[in-house]
Structure 1
């Protein structure tokens, strides 16, 4: 027994010694490594903005443990790429072990300054080299770098960013946002280079921000445009021939250009048309992936209206695509697509007119509590009698649809006027529990509110998940629009003629082959 007890510690010491040994025997790599890809495309990034992290997997398919003599970037320490090889950061590595039938990860990032090249775009390349001489293998690295005009707040002496005073809250505290005033030289956005905005770019009184056709404006997190009292926004996009490239459209979106960010909601703040801003006009604009696409506040009696918007699409907002608060808007050929709450919210009264617009919400990024279209003459977050304003809202040749049963919400305080009407519209409102049977606002036979309305019919959109709200072959919207209104807007959002047998919504039907 004592002899066995003596042997046990020796065995334990032997095991510990073996587990701590660093002198495993490795064969030198013979140039037979395999890779998950032969080229790593790091997609498009702006100058001086870091890319996402991309990965490459390296495989040893042999039966022997090997050691790779070197793993390095072809441009060495001068490279603008950065590597992380099995948890170690650097640009050159020596004697990298790789066990038999095993693999290792290499992570790649880049940041590149294009300013010295005098080019708007530059295809930056390098390569990861494995070993050298006749056994050398390589994987190419490719990144498109875009030059841009960067607009951002100045930095204060204490390291904080410049902020702007917006007013006082109910407790008398200052309300400020991180932002900066646009100078006169910054008030005309061209289409020569994209613009990247950090914080809120503020248009001050008696100034107009003009954005040319084909302009591209990218916003960093929690950034946007603030149009203040007496100021204006003028977006001057034109019809594009390429519906994917949208070469003449103005586009507002986030500043991450990698494909994995293309459909991520809430990447930036909002376009904020504050009370007192005037003569805001928008034509052929796409807004995507904001928190709130357009926030339009105040001035319900303005004539012309506070905002005139046409031939534009807003989708994938984290909260609301257009949020109007006691304001005035005319909209034509509008597509208000998927959003985390409502596609169009008009609250606290105001004056609103939408013609040939598609208001459709098929949000799939989580629970959605609000209807696609929400209209009220009071602020639901405040006392209804204190905040109420008269409301007038008219919808002609519009679609109101979505993936919920009740896609129309109408709320009045019964004190202020609440005048709304729908003419030649498709509306989804499936009151399966009969909870609105006695509410006169939802009496779809009442011609005070509803004229020639088509209830719960199939819109047959082409691809709601991708915010493609063109009409499919079996759409009930085909041929049911009011012709007189269609003649006022003879072309649809993509330039298709609608003067003969017009269709409801922003798109005129074009026969396409559907899966």
Structure 2
């Protein structure tokens, strides 16, 4: 009996060994199909903790192989390599790069991502970003990782549109405010921004004020500043750093086409009694956009003592807008400093529009454009009135004034207006077909005596009577510098000479 039991035990052991050998000989085979892709628990890993002192945090990312065969991930790496602020850990193996990682069919793996943030390091960007890159069978995929890099107030998050947390929101100057994505002021709500507040906007983002109110309450010497979120020296005068971008996909005869459409960094869509005073908007794509077509709200915006400059497209873009304002300086834009399109009602006094754009592209647009019509999708011309609009004591100029057949002020109107559009302004108009009935007491082609266009100093320096030819009935008591204007004969533009 003992011999028999021993034999049976030996036979069982031998069977196990043979089976094990057979299994060992069946090597795991990986698919090399380039169409095989990985799936991820998220396309972006956001570390939304705001540190007030140095600290670390770890978040997970799950990677799935939902294909019917095993794959070997050729590489998993951080795009910024050893310079990255982030670290990855895969089953105890620490990056920035891990190679030849197997993943069975229907299986998954965890990647743990860590970031250490010193919020007191002012050389840090406000937003730390990197990408985890995956290569499988020559197929490249990526997951974005994002962390807040400084001690600031962060608004927005994942997704294209984020409403403010409360209906009556106030931003103050205690800490910088960083806008990530599109932050929306919802219908019938308001956002108030107090004097001295610094607002930094991440690329592709901005403020959408939808049938609601924005109150930017800067003061002389405590302006509210809107700019990009990179503070390094090379970004100090780089245009195009921020502004709302909308992605659209549509089908064509060649397949699906994707386009990105730029909108204002501050976009007033049916804005309700918005006000912007003593603000600075710089280094964006479209600084301020006002859309009020189809509404009866007037004005949608009152803008005073504000500088908008270094925009890669347009400083102030209106579509059927209703805008009042004075003492504004808009300069250096890749297209127009201001484009008032699709009609609207505009009352702007003592404003300077000076386009001396020189940031690598040749400007083809006038400094200021006004139209009262557009062509719809059916090729039909639609008319929108400019009746009631007026520009008084303004300067509209630019560095293309010396070109033949180029005007820095272009107006395209289909229907005559009952009153002049421009009174006591200095404009560049050479076109013999320009409707002169739109001008009253304006000077044409008289080059403004700016202190230094190279240094973007648009104060007037000469005593030429052309420049103090503004009409007192449109005069504003103080200029953009807070200095009193001359009684009786104020200077044109946003600055008064001493």
The TM-score, its normalising length taken from structure 2, stands at 0.63
Aligned to 1:290: 284
Assess if the C-alpha contact under 8 Å between 2:179 and 2:201 holds in 1: yes
1:277 aligns with 2:278: no
Assess if the C-alpha contact under 8 Å between 1:357 and 1:505 holds in 2: yes
Matched residue of 1:347: which SS? strand
1:400 aligns with 2:381: no
Deviations along 1:473-497, one digit per CA (max 9) or x if unpaired, are 36665422112221xx100011010
Distance, in Å, in 2 between the alignment partners of 1:367 and 1:200 is 30
Distance, in Å, in 1 between the alignment partners of 2:339 and 2:312 is 14
Aligned residue pair count: 342
Residues 151 and 475 of structure 1, relative CA distance in 2, 3 Å threshold: farther
Instruction: Supply the RMSD in Å over aligned alpha carbons.
Output: 3.1
Residues 421 and 186 of structure 1, relative CA distance in 2, 3 Å threshold: closer
Distance, in Å, in 1 between the alignment partners of 2:453 and 2:116 is 37
Deviations along 1:381-422, one digit per CA (max 9) or x if unpaired, are 7667443211132111000110113101111234x8686421
Assess if the C-alpha contact under 8 Å between 2:168 and 2:190 holds in 1: no
Q: What displacement does 1:122 show?
A: 6.5
Residues 321 and 440 of structure 1, relative CA distance in 2, 3 Å threshold: closer
The answer to which of 358-367 and 302-311 deviates more is 302-311
User: Which of 488, 491, 507 does residue 478 from structure 2 map onto?
Assistant: 491
User: Which of 253, 257, 277 does residue 231 from structure 2 map onto?
Assistant: 257
Distance, in Å, in 2 between the alignment partners of 1:506 and 1:298 is 26
Deviations along 1:395-450, one digit per CA (max 9) or x if unpaired, are 11000110113101111234x86864211111112x3xxxx32x251x3xxxx422
Distance, in Å, in 1 between the alignment partners of 2:452 and 2:150 is 31
Q: What displacement does 1:304 show?
A: 3.7
The equivalences for 1:198-277 within 5 A come to: 198-229=180-211, 231-240=212-221, 248-269=222-243, 270-277=264-271
Assess if the C-alpha contact under 8 Å between 2:272 and 2:300 holds in 1: yes
Q: What displacement does 1:261 show?
A: 0.8
Aligned to 1:502: 490
Runs of 5+ consecutive residues of structure 2 not aligned to the other structure: 1-50, 55-81, 88-94, 97-114, 125-148, 244-263, 402-406
Assess if the C-alpha contact under 8 Å between 2:468 and 2:491 holds in 1: yes
The TM-score, its normalising length taken from structure 1, stands at 0.61
User: Which of 311, 319, 336 does residue 313 from structure 2 map onto?
Assistant: 319
Q: What displacement does 1:320 show?
A: 0.5
Residues 149 and 427 of structure 1, relative CA distance in 2, 3 Å threshold: same
Assess if the C-alpha contact under 8 Å between 2:270 and 2:295 holds in 1: no
Matched residue of 1:395: which SS? strand
Q: What displacement does 1:451 show?
A: 1.9
Distance, in Å, in 2 between the alignment partners of 1:422 and 1:285 is 25
Aligned to 1:368: 363
Distance, in Å, in 1 between the alignment partners of 2:351 and 2:377 is 30
Aligned to 2:461: 472
Q: What displacement does 1:468 show?
A: 2.4
Residues 389 and 417 of structure 1, relative CA distance in 2, 3 Å threshold: farther
Q: What displacement does 1:114 show?
A: 4.1
Distance, in Å, in 2 between the alignment partners of 1:389 and 1:201 is 30
